Amino acid sequence: MKCQDTYWEDLYEGFEIPSLTKEATTRQLVQYAGASGDFYEIHYDKDFAVSTGLSGVIIHGALKNAFLGTLMTDWAGPLGILRKLSCQYRGMDYPDQSLSAKGTVTRKYQENGRFLVDCDIHLENSSGEITTPGTATVELPCRNSAS
């Protein structure tokens, strides 16, 4: 994880957030099932997953949501605060495949004394397909802020 701070005034629309690469193993899916309490068998029982028409076990949507959370909180740094995080699961993702979490600043603004940026974020698979698009809003510190 990144420990340096991200400051609001250094950002601009189009700024690219440092990307993050994740590769979930089946073991991690079991670990996530235990930690989250989501024991739906499509995430660790291949026979079951295939019987429901999937080609194999799939990554929990909520784990992909968590990867996008880490993308934002790593970048925002210890002084940043995640205010909004949203994503849609448009495509299935499978274990042992590389996933890249990426994001771009789309709006920089102040609201109620807060210094905020909105971002488009997504996960893409190794073929470059966006399986999980989303958005996020982060509150960041501002060096010149009087508050």
> What is the nearest approach in angstroms of another protein to the Cβ of residue 8?
15
Q: Which residues contact 34 (CB under 8 A, 6 or more apart)?
A: none
Here the tokens at position 46 are 């291949």
Q: Which stretch binds another protein (CB under 8 A): 65-73, 93-101, 104-112, 123-131?
A: 65-73
Residue type, 81: I
Binding residue for another protein, selected from 63, 99, 116, 117, defined by CB under 8 A? 63
Burial class of residue 63 (count of CB atoms within 10 Å of its CB; 0-12, 13-18, 19+):
buried
Site for another protein in 1-30 (CB under 8 A): 1, 22, 28
Q: Is 109 in the site for another protein (CB under 8 A)?
A: no
Q: Is 31 in the site for another protein (CB under 8 A)?
A: yes
DSSP state of 144: T
Euclidean distance between CA atoms 114 and 136, whole angstroms: 15
Binding residue for another protein, selected from 7, 26, 74, 100, defined by CB under 8 A? 74
Binding residue for another protein, selected from 60, 117, 119, 140, defined by CB under 8 A? 60
Q: Which helix (DSSP H) or strand (DSSP E) does residue 79 occupy?
A: none
> What is the nearest approach in angstroms of another protein to the Cβ of residue 126?
18
Q: Does residue 107 contact residue 135 with C-beta atoms inside 8 Å?
A: no
Q: What residues line the site for another protein (CB under 8 A)?
A: 1, 22, 28, 31-32, 34-38, 40, 50-53, 60-63, 65-67, 69-70, 72-74, 78-79, 81-89, 134
